[in-house]
Structure 1
Amino acid sequence: MVIKMEINSSTRILPIIDKYQKVYDELYKLSSKTKRFKNRIVRKTIGKKATIEMASEILEIPIETIISIIKNVIEASGDEPPEKDRKEMLKKLLIDMHKGVDIEILKAQFKEAVGDISSYEIGQLEQQLIDEGFLDPTEITKLSDLHVDLFRDALDMKADYETIPGHPVHTYLQENLEIANLIREIRSVPESEKFKLFHKLRELEIHYARKENQIFPILEKNGISGPPQVMWAVHDEIRALLKTTKIEEIELTLKKVEDMIYKEEHILFPMALESFSEPDWINARKGEEEIGFIFGVEPGVQWKPITAADVHKPLPSQTAKLEDGLNLDVGNLTREQINIMLKTLPVDLTFVNENDEVAYYSDTEDRIFPRSRGIIGRHVQKCHPPKSVHIVEDILKKFKSGETNVAEFWIQMNGKFILIRYFAMRDDEGKYVGTLEVSQELSRLRSLEGERRLVQWGD
């Protein structure tokens, strides 16, 4: 086959890599730095102008070698399997894994047939297999470590992260450094002192809750819901292990936490960086303070994202309007008064609309269960751990059918007695319009005795 395009040191590398996957695979075998050309930030900056000469310097591969690889691949492109076949190979590898084929055999097949894969591709692949019914999220959860092990060689080269203080990924990475330091400290102390340090790891709940409320909803919006479900299930496994009283389970827990750090830094964060837009990251950042941070880590202020809305923001004089009151069935209140009233009530409120989407929660000062703005618009089924989704769906089904209007249960958690009630909301014609969740801490009320007829201040 005659090569129709001129290949020289001034030829731009990115269009060739995008068109010919085999070029990327062959370069990656010579230099793991090739992975930089898959990074979203690099592609939008130096990647646009990178020539073969520049790539040679970055990858530390001679120009002649790169040109030779490109020419050979283009000449053989008539026999090159299309991207569709590559995905089929990857799907077969994962399905074979779930059938019990030896992992070492599969790793050898992956290296021979595919060579490299990005975290974003892994997420898309798992999602596709779930959507097509080949795999169940619970099965992926059981074998999530094997999924990582299969692709570990390709994932070991870390992505080029956004490292500006204030960006959510920067904050997560700083927390991971503190987590790793604490793990090393736990391993180094005598057995008699391990539990005291081990209990500090329970702060991980905040780290995981931020991911579940701030990162996962946006991935789901971008069409990636399977991997977040799998990671959430592993979070719950770690949460349970962090409560252990058995000294022999400490090391197992530490290993699972370390594995989660690896999955975050090699799969979750690169996947998010690849798929999130700048407004997505702004939304991920909003509400982080409501959930909190761990081990003294605080977000910086250097990250200053700019959106189209900022550029075209109207002047205050254009938007300043007096707010009229809202006429209710009884009385008249402004939106501000309604908002303050809902936040003042001694209960946590969450409203889910008729489409099962979270439309509102009361932003009270001391919520029993953490919430953040990331859940607004999210399907309520995605806001619960996979193991309890069937309970949520059963309640909604009974509410929508009219079988019942109230569901309630109570739990004891950290010395508190918590009543959780769900109410079906219906309009005047009886049409279902949503579900209201009301949670209340009742320990003090349950302890009341006798009567008090006059207020006593300070009590």
Structure 2
Amino acid sequence: MSEMINNRELKAIDSAKRKVILKQLFKDLHEGKNPYEVKAHFDALIGNVTIEEISQLQQDEGNLSVDEMKRLYEAHSFFRGEETYSIKGPEDEPGHPVHTFELENREIEKLLQNRLRVHLEQFTLEDSAENINLLLEDCNLLYDIDKHYSRKENLIFPYLEKYGIYGPTTNMWRIDDFIRDGIKLAKKKLADYDGDKNGVIEELQFVLREVNEMIYREENILFPMAMQNFTEDEWVKIARESDEIGYCLTAPSQEWKPARKEIDANAISEGFIKMGTGILSLKQLELIMNHLPVDITFIDQDDVVRYFSHGKERIFARTKAVIGRTVQNCHPPRSVHVVEDLLADFKAGTKDTEDFWIKFRDKYVYIRYFAIRDEDGQYMGTLEFTQNIDPIQAIDGEKRILS
């Protein structure tokens, strides 16, 4: 490929040409060309790839299959060379979301290096019950990474989308899901161990590799990209909503407060809303919605999340960052087609409701969707209604008096 490009042109190569060349290099690698020859072309033609270029490439290639996505990330890791991105600032302060993410990454690395790798080597030598149990304990600890990824997906990604950056939203979320699935599969193979030693080893090696690679992507691409774009107010909101999802293996030692005026997070209008069957203040309405024994989320006719209730024990994590975000981007990529099909049926008028029920952690969750229509039958949005029905299923007999 280098023969096709005049060396003089390379000195003044513009961003459009760089993009074309970079895509071709990734394609060459995917098609099985010698990786070191491709790398030599990369070094000669591109040099250092910027955060924005990788993000744009991921965004442009958003329809890749799972296997192709894995190869894209492997190629990115191969090309990364010795480039590092370093942006010093408030993210180095305890309590800042990026500081917390990186603090968690250090704990994850310790878990991988000091426990999981060691116990995997012991298991490789002897698949005894003791070594199986040690690996199970490690996997249980490592699955705490779900909170780390959930905060990233529900708090960082929405703001990136606000700035027109969509690559990480789809592609990084997919890799997060690969890792989650890998840990769960390893746990299952260990819990139901049937002598398939190689299967366990391969799965855990995959997890080790992908978790380490994700740490690199976060700290050298995602977080610097976010620091370049997000406002201080947005970081304050992210920090305050992080507690709702939780932390991985550690937690911030203190609340982060920028060295400026405090933000009044408790301000609420004292206005009133007149409805067909009564009048409520905004405060009363909000309290009513948050005291319902169900979780409610509403998206409008354009698939944009406009509201969610905020009860004491939400079943699925929701943060204020989802407000104003399309519902498709609030779901893992592999389940987006279900959302799309459901909304298409509601908009076409072929369905008015749809129900699902799943086992989720220690709950039996009943999820209902309702098409919201006005008096003329015009579709106005969708209401999601989520409830833990375990207590209801446990009801027996009758109760007619106060206990």
With the length of structure 2 as denominator, give the TM-score of the two structures: 0.84
Q: Kindly indicate whether residue 51 of structure 2 is the aligned counterpart of residue 97 of structure 1.
A: no
Equivalent residue runs for 1:255-404 within 5 Å: 255-298=209-252, 300-304=254-258, 306=260, 323-404=270-351
Q: Distance in 2 between matches of 1:233 and 1:364?
A: 29
Equivalent residue runs for 1:57-72 within 5 Å: none
Paired residues of 2:354 and 2:370 also in contact (CA < 8 A): yes
Q: Kindly indicate whether residue 353 of structure 2 is the aligned counterpart of residue 424 of structure 1.
A: no
2:137 maps to 196
Matched residue type, 2:18: R
Distance 1:432 1:118, change over 3 A: same
Q: Distance in 2 between matches of 1:361 and 1:302?
A: 26
Cα distance, 1:164 vs structure 2: 1.6
Q: Distance in 1 between matches of 2:387 and 2:268?
A: 38
The equivalent position to 2:204 in structure 1, one of 243, 250, 256, is 250
Distance 1:139 1:390, change over 3 A: same
Equivalent residue runs for 1:55-134 within 5 Å: 80-130=12-62
Q: Distance in 2 between matches of 1:254 and 1:177?
A: 14
Distance 1:364 1:136, change over 3 A: same
The equivalent position to 2:176 in structure 1, one of 230, 235, 238, is 235
Q: Distance in 1 between matches of 2:302 and 2:342?
A: 14
Cα distance, 1:105 vs structure 2: 2.0
Moved more, 430-439 or 143-152: 143-152
Cα distance, 1:320 vs structure 2: 10
Cα distance, 1:158 vs structure 2: 4.3
Query: Between Structure 1 and Structure 2, how many residues are aligned?
Result: 369
Q: Distance in 2 between matches of 1:182 and 1:122?
A: 29
Q: Distance in 2 between matches of 1:303 and 1:106?
A: 47
Q: Kindly indicate whether residue 74 of structure 2 is the aligned counterpart of residue 146 of structure 1.
A: yes
1:175 maps to 104
Q: Distance in 1 between matches of 2:147 and 2:353?
A: 31
Cα distance, 1:375 vs structure 2: 0.8
The equivalent position to 1:220 in structure 2, one of 161, 167, 173, is 161
1:56 maps to none
Q: Distance in 2 between matches of 1:103 and 1:299?
A: 44
Cα distance, 1:374 vs structure 2: 1.1
Q: Which runs of 5+ in 2 are unaligned?
A: 1-7, 124-130, 190-199
Structure of higher CA gyration radius: 1
Q: Distance in 2 between matches of 1:289 and 1:269?
A: 19
Q: Distance in 2 between matches of 1:147 and 1:299?
A: 37
The CA deviation string for residues 186-214 of structure 1, in whole angstroms up to 9 with x for no partner, is 22345422211321111111100000000
Paired residues of 2:169 and 2:329 also in contact (CA < 8 A): no
SS in 2 for 1:287: helix
Q: Distance in 1 between matches of 2:322 and 2:222?
A: 18
Q: Distance in 2 between matches of 1:160 and 1:212?
A: 22
SS in 1 for 2:21: helix
- Cα-Cα RMSD: 2.7
Q: Percent identity?
A: 37
Cα distance, 1:118 vs structure 2: 2.0
Q: Distance in 2 between matches of 1:136 and 1:297?
A: 35
Paired residues of 1:424 and 1:435 also in contact (CA < 8 A): yes
Cα distance, 1:418 vs structure 2: 0.8
Cα distance, 1:302 vs structure 2: 4.9
Q: Distance in 2 between matches of 1:103 and 1:79?
A: 24
Paired residues of 2:306 and 2:324 also in contact (CA < 8 A): yes
Moved more, 211-220 or 258-267: 258-267
Paired residues of 1:410 and 1:417 also in contact (CA < 8 A): yes
Q: Which runs of 5+ in 1 are unaligned?
A: 1-75
Matched residue type, 2:229: S
Q: Distance in 1 between matches of 2:224 and 2:44?
A: 24
Q: Distance in 2 between matches of 1:268 and 1:320?
A: 33
The equivalent position to 2:384 in structure 1, one of 437, 442, 453, is 437
Relative contact order higher in (CA < 8 Å, ≥ 6 apart):
2
Q: Distance in 2 between matches of 1:320 and 1:185?
A: 49
The CA deviation string for residues 43-87 of structure 1, in whole angstroms up to 9 with x for no partner, is xxxxxxxxxxxxxxxxxxxxxxxxxxxxxxxxx899633333223
SS in 2 for 1:264: helix
Q: Distance in 2 between matches of 1:320 and 1:169?
A: 29
The equivalent position to 1:206 in structure 2, one of 143, 147, 155, is 147
